[in-house]
Structure 1
Amino acid sequence: MSAGSVALVVPEDIGFPSWDLYELSIPCTVFGKPQPDLADPWYDLRLCGAGGGPGDGSPAETGLSLRTRHGLDDLAGADTVIVPSVPDACVEEGRPLPRELITALRRAHEAGARMVSLCTGAFALAEAGLLDGRRATAHWMHTAQLAARYPKVEVDDSVLYVDDGDVLTSAGLTAGLDLCLHLVRRDLGAHVANQLARRMVVPAHRPGGQAQFIDLSVPTTDDRSLAPVLDWARTRLDRPLTVDDLARRAAMSTRTLHRRLQAATGTTPLQWILNQRLARAQSLLESTDLPIEKVGELSGLGTANNLRHHFLKHFGVSPSTYRRAFPRTTTPEPSPSTAGNSPG
């Protein structure tokens, strides 16, 4: 599949803390650096200057200035448009976003561009009316304001990102990276996304439905002790696997396992197992021609009907529909029990 062109909306004057450079840098890192051994051509990243300052039209008093080769008119020619954030003043004080930006976003969407926001960039998409009647998210600190200001938007403050097909939104900071890797996964397949994540030394895939806020009030100094048992579990997803099995393998009580896993991942052990099986099923559907029944078996989700139930519930599409979005191969992946670690 083609990577296509990505237009990133950037301010020409960046003030601190009005603009978050982290969200601005994520798309540049993911889409801007060619990876010819993974996909050639790679994405064509264009920085499109938005003009203005940190929300009031004046140059930033502190910060830096950017000069871009592309302007907002170039958004309409891109396959994907990303709004990394908006000035703090537009979120906290309700100052209006530049009308030229809102107009450019509408034109880009009308021209068929996939629209993406990271963190408070959702306010720009909402102002353009692109989130009306859609489920969307932003950083949990700003979702209440987003919901109050744009009542037509179905705001979900509990997820990392929302993929609504041609419009995608994410929470802040690292969740923006999760969404960008999700886009690579959609465009170029699981193998490319996994290899890119490995180079960036980040998790290859965190499901969008994972909780934004993880309560770390429980001490996690010995969380590293969970890694071996979780790695062990990933190699046997095709077998019966219970919380008791994980607890025995970790040499701890089920109550202790539950507490530590909840603190480390924000999910219960049962939900963690389900998430891993869903991720395994996604990978098999993306990279093999295995029958749906076999995918259900190897992922541990059971029958084809059970696999369809979980896909419809978590992703909103059937396994067959999901598979059609990715290129096929003819070589099936090994089952979890034969890949990597030996049974033990």
Structure 2
Amino acid sequence: MRHNTVQYGGLSLPAKRGYIFPMVLFASLAVGLLVLTISQFQTSNRQKYQHLNDYQAAFNIAYSALVEVLADIQSRQWSNRSFKSGPKDRSASLFGGSYNLRVEDHASIEFMFNVKIRVKFKEKSHLFYWRMQYNPSLLDFTNLFIPVYYEEYGDPANAPTDIDSKVDEIMQRRKDNQPKIEEIAEKLRTTDTVKEALEVVGIDPGGVNQADLPRPGVVTINIPPADLTLKPVSVLISAVDPAANHIIKSFNFGLDVTELTPDQELLLDTLADLLKDQQPDTRIELRGHASSDGSAETNMQLSIERAQSVADYLIASGISSGRISVAGFGETQPIASNDTPEGRAKNRRVEFVLKEIP
């Protein structure tokens, strides 16, 4: 009987009739499916990257529009901002897309404003929302504008019509939750193991590996002080609170002390130079405070005298007395617990509230 053969190298191998064609067909189908799968995968990734690139382009348009608003405020000064008398609208084409912008003051919070930017790029629309706080600090030009809230809506139709009110609610919940957050943080400091820490934040440690191990210790990094001859302007600045009180850091007093130290006089020299040379249209309200040591009447007098000491020094440094006001609050507005010596030391202070002359 005659058999079909298959040449493989220099050998002639017998082959069964009908065996080769199905194998070739199967291999062709497998290769075709592999190519199709790879093609679909590449198409999917290409679409994802394209979507990401389109979103990035839309964000760049919105952020550039926001920067123009901030630059305009900085050049005009806050008291002359373009939206002082009401909402300001603006439209423009940029980076192959276009935007419509509205900026307006917050309804009730001073130095707060909202920016809504609708961007259209490649037939797709986005709505970007920023709530910004203007920080009129004389001594911290790097944080002139502070973003308080940000949101992006892929489809503006899905955005609530009363965005400002919704953001107000979110900010209020943040404020309401802050004591609970601080309570949890305080409890976390005293936990010894990962398991205890997870239980504090409400996580079941049952499925966590090595949950009974001790928590990692605190690593202390010692950075040697830089040998700089510049005045320590950076220590003057602290975080801005919601009421726009701009507080000089560490301007504290000893127990029953109202006199200024040489270091405090150096800080006031720096402040006076900036007030005279760069911010002649700024008023300063000096608010004195005291700890709970002593009687309420004594503490009220101490707080007034501390603020007055600062006022007298600034006036002697060339700041007009008409730009300065003094107030004393005694022990009624602590920023730390009066139950500890450290807390009472923080409460014996003077706050500097900076306001533009209307």
TM-score (norm 1): 0.26
Larger Rg: 1 or 2?
2
Higher normalized contact order (CA 8 Å, seq sep 6+, divided by chain length): 1
TM-score by length of 2: 0.25
